[in-house]
Amino acid sequence: MIELVNFVFGSTNLTRFVLFPDVMYGAQRAIIRDNFPFYNNLSTIDKRYFEHRVLKFIDSHNFIGREGIIVTKKMELLIASTAVMLTFGMRRYLFSQFENIIIYPKNYLSKVTKKRHLGETNPRLGIIVFSWDDFLEGMKENDNLNLGLHELTHAMHFSFLKEKSFTSVTFLSHYDALLERLKDEKLQRKIVKSGYLRPYGFRNQFEFLSVIVEHFFETPHEFNRKLPEVYKMVKLILNLDTLKMASKLSA
What is the domain partition of the chain in residue ranges?
2-250
The overall average pLDDT reported for the chain is 90
Residue environment code for 112-151, b if the CB has 16+ CB neighbours within 10 A, otherwise e: eeeeebbbbbbbeebbbbbbbebbeebbeebebbbbbbbb
Angstrom distance (rounded) from CA 137 to CA 131: 10
Checking if the pLDDT of 8 tops 60, the result is no
Checking if the pLDDT of 2 tops 90, the result is no
The per-residue pLDDT for range 184-234, each reduced to its tens digit, is 999 999 999 999 999 999 999 999 999 999 999 999 999 999 999 999 999
Angstrom distance (rounded) from CA 88 to CA 100: 21
Checking if the pLDDT of 28 tops 80, the result is yes
**Under a CB-based contact definition with an 8 Å cutoff, are residues 132 and 105 in contact?**
yes
Work out the average pLDDT over 138-161. Answer: 95
Of the pLDDT bands very low, low, confident and very high (cuts 50, 70, 90), residue 248 is low
Which residue did the predictor score with more confidence, 3 or 95?
95
pLDDT at 18: 64
Of the pLDDT bands very low, low, confident and very high (cuts 50, 70, 90), residue 62 is very high
**Under a CB-based contact definition with an 8 Å cutoff, are residues 237 and 171 in contact?**
yes
Sequence-distant (6+) residues with CB within 8 A of 219 are 142, 144
SS (H, E, C) 188-230: HHHHHHHCCCCHHHHCCHHHHHHHHHHHHHHCHHHHHHHCHHH
Tell me how crowded residue 222 is: count the other CB atoms within 10 A of its CB: 16
Give SS3 for 17: coil
Direct distance between the N- and C-terminal alpha carbons of the chain, in angstroms, rounded to an integer: 35
pLDDT at 1: 36
**Under a CB-based contact definition with an 8 Å cutoff, are residues 65 and 71 in contact?**
yes
Quote the radius of gyration of the chain (alpha carbons, Å).
18
Which residue did the predictor score with more confidence, 4 or 130?
130
Alpha helices in 96-219 (DSSP H): 132-140, 147-162, 166-181, 185-194, 205-218
Checking if the pLDDT of 13 tops 50, the result is yes
pLDDT at 245: 78
